[in-house]
Amino acid sequence: MSIRPLTLNGLDDPETSFEELNTTLPRFQSHETSTLRDSAPPLSTSTYLPTPSSIGTSDTGTVFSNSADAFWSDKQGDNDQDMEVEQDDEFLNDFQEFQNKKDDFDDAIKTNFHLRNKCGSTPFKNVDFVNEFDKKLNFELDKPRLKQPRSMMELKSRRKLSNSVSSKNLKGGNSVRFKKSMPNLALFSSTIREEEEEEEEGKGEEQQEQDYEDDDTQGTILARFSSDDEGGFLTGFGELEDEPLDQTFSLSRGQDLKRPPFLKRKSASSLPLKISPTQYDIVKHDELLTPGLHSRQREWNTQQELDSFREERPVRRYPSHNLQLHGPAKIKTIKQQIDHNTPMKKGSMVYNPQTMKWEGNENVLNKFSDVDTANRKALLIKNKLQRDADDHTAKQKRYSDLQNSRSASRNQKVVGNMVLDEQNLRWVSISEDEADPFAGIPEINPPPVRTTMKKRSSSPFLRSQSQLSPSPSSNGNNGGYQSTAAQVRLRKYHSMRSLNAPPEDLALNTTFHLSSKTLEKFYHEENRWNRKLASWFIPQDETITGVDEETMDESTIGGKRKSYMYEIRNMVINSTKD
């Protein structure tokens, strides 16, 4: 997920932006708080900052989804309760830190609003807003709404949709449009944004106020996330920079850091929102959220500013005077905490931040230890069939002699009512009490057959032959009647394999195993010989040529055979006589 394109293109590419939202936002509710702060400006600024406002709306959409999540989970408590519980605690703890400094935060907001009023285009009753804001802050402190933090993994696009819906329900009719539009904005088209803009502009603070009530949680969050943690955040941030996700944050941070002047302006303009900030929270939320960051960039506008921020990035420590800036920063910190310090849980897996490993599925490895002991059988069979086989082992042993020949088909554990006996590699009936046809026959395992078994298993060549020849176990089970017959058969099928080979001679495998190329050469040479010399042997008596032939007529053949041995003598004698 590249942040850059998002920032530059803004909402033009809705899908990507949405994805980012998913990943980054859900995890940290701190975003919400931060967004709350920022949310104020777009509303106020919408008048004099056209583009930013649109962005703001889109942001709000995303933010809202998050906030909606929070609400949703609180009320329904449906999803991922295991995870949430743990995370909730963590989050609350985090927030507690901020709670102490809530005052500062409130002050900051108030100041922002005041500034805004001064600069602001729309008149606001700052005091009222402030009061309401304080009330809501207090109110929310009691509420455990922050529980919802979720790991990035959990959040899915559907969820956001659901969240958005929930958010609608939660918030008043005024806000409904707003919230509806939010997810749409984030996901899809700019037209929706425009609508939001209109909404924001036209309905202004009133709606926002109403929204404010609903958004109390966000407000509290904001309060808790004061700039106090900047230092920790920054340090943690430094650590994070190496990670890909951090890039997004780094961008946002850099913007934030540079922002202060800019933000001030906005805040000043948005001051009237002071009460509304909660209402605006939605809007601001969005901005604060990672997507918010993008939107902000636009708002602040413009790549020029962004570029300037980039350059200045290296300067991490920035004066904490801008509360709004800290919002995103906090998001980062929270993220860091989760990544590095917080044990995370996902299903049955627990993340151990110290070892940086996920733990909890060690038992899965046990399967592999069993594999080593199962040399003789196909590994696949063993693993696959263990479960099923356990149930039927007893039966299988009883019917150990059944259907050995079928062992070749190894892929299936159960076919019909037959079960593959993993130990003996044969199929056994699941149904009860089949007669054992080999019950009365003692088991005899002729040693030569066994040796071939071993070798076959070790040699692919032989394995391929195994289907042709009766399975070793069947030979053994068939017992006495076929010990020689089995050998004959095995000899037949195992081309180069020795039946009587002493087991210790593994080297024999190479000596007595000829490659197919060699065999081919043998036959080639024989054929060649046949083509050329067969005529010399056609009239020949078979008894002479056949080495194995025993029916040799010695008187004739012996005489014939020895006659040539006198040829040389005759020649010599004749020559000497001459």
Partner 1 sequence: MTSIEDIISNPPLLLHSSLSQLRYLVLSEGLPISEDKQQQRTRCYVWTVLSQTSMETSTQRYLALLKLGPPSTTIYQKIKNDTSRTFQTDPNFRNRVSEDALIRCLSCFAWQTQQRRRKAQFNESSSKTTRIPVSTYVQGMNVLLAPILYSCPSEPMAYQLFSKLCYEIIPTYLTKNLNGAQNGAKLLDVSLRIIDPKLSKFLSDNLLTAEIYGMPSILTLSSCNKPLDQVIKLWDFMFAYGFHMNILFVVAFLVKMRSKVFRSDSPVNLLRQFPDFDADEIIRLGVGFIAKIPAQIYDLLVDHLTDPDIYIP
Contact residues for partner 1, defined by CB under 8 A: 491-492, 494-502, 505, 508, 510-512, 514, 519, 521-526, 528-530, 532-540, 544-548, 550-554, 558, 561-562, 564-569, 572-573, 576
CB 43 within 8 A of CB 54: no
Kindly state the smallest distance separating residue 394's Cβ from partner 1, in Å: 39
Q: Which of 14, 37, 576 is nearest to 322 (CA)?
A: 37
Kindly state the smallest distance separating residue 502's Cβ from partner 1, in Å: 5
The first and second tokens of residue 163, run together, are 């969240």
Got the DSSP string for 327-366? HHHHHHHHHHIIIIIS-EEETTEEEETTTTEEES-THHHH
What distance separates the 2 farthest-apart alpha carbons in the chain? 152
- Residue 387 or 531 with smaller CB distance to partner 1: 531
- Residue 192 or 462 with smaller CB distance to partner 1: 462
Kindly state the smallest distance separating residue 455's Cβ from partner 1, in Å: 10
DSSP helix/strand/coil, 295: helix
Amino acid identity, residue 367? K
Kindly state the smallest distance separating residue 386's Cβ from partner 1, in Å: 36
Q: CB within 8 A of 511, min separation 6: which ones?
A: none
- Residue 411 or 527 with smaller CB distance to partner 1: 527
d(CA 212, CA 218): 9
Kindly state the smallest distance separating residue 575's Cβ from partner 1, in Å: 8
Kindly state the smallest distance separating residue 444's Cβ from partner 1, in Å: 21
The first and second tokens of residue 509, run together, are 């495998």
Kindly state the smallest distance separating residue 371's Cβ from partner 1, in Å: 31
Kindly state the smallest distance separating residue 462's Cβ from partner 1, in Å: 12
Kindly state the smallest distance separating residue 358's Cβ from partner 1, in Å: 53
d(CA 202, CA 430): 75
- Residue 127 or 557 with smaller CB distance to partner 1: 557
Tell me the CA distances in angstroms from 88 to 147, 154, 265, one per residue in order: 4, 14, 35
- Residue 100 or 527 with smaller CB distance to partner 1: 527
The first and second tokens of residue 68, run together, are 């909606």
- Residue 261 or 539 with smaller CB distance to partner 1: 539
Kindly state the smallest distance separating residue 484's Cβ from partner 1, in Å: 13
Q: What is the dihedral of CA 86, 87, 89, 90, to 10 degrees?
A: 120
The first and second tokens of residue 161, run together, are 């949709």
Kindly state the smallest distance separating residue 527's Cβ from partner 1, in Å: 9
- Residue 367 or 561 with smaller CB distance to partner 1: 561
DSSP helix/strand/coil, 418: strand
CB 331 within 8 A of CB 248: no
Kindly state the smallest distance separating residue 477's Cβ from partner 1, in Å: 24
Kindly state the smallest distance separating residue 557's Cβ from partner 1, in Å: 8
DSSP helix/strand/coil, 421: strand
Q: Which of 296, 284, 63 is nearest to 179 (CA)?
A: 63
Render the burial of 281-303: b for 16+ CB within 10 Å, e for the rest: bbbbbbbbbbbbbbbbbbbbeee
Q: Which of 154, 28, 182 is nearest to 94 (CA)?
A: 28
d(CA 475, CA 449): 8
Residues across the chain: 578
The first and second tokens of residue 203, run together, are 């309905």
Cα–Cα–Cα angle for 542, 544, 550, rounded to 5 degrees: 85
Over 13-78, what HEC string results?
Answer: CHHHHHHHHHHHHHHCCHHHHHHHHHHHHHHHHCCCCHHHHHHHHHHHHHHHHHHHHHHHHHHHCC
d(CA 553, CA 256): 112
- Residue 371 or 519 with smaller CB distance to partner 1: 519
Kindly state the smallest distance separating residue 348's Cβ from partner 1, in Å: 54
Cα–Cα–Cα angle for 482, 486, 491, rounded to 5 degrees: 155
CB 303 within 8 A of CB 154: no
- Residue 358 or 461 with smaller CB distance to partner 1: 461
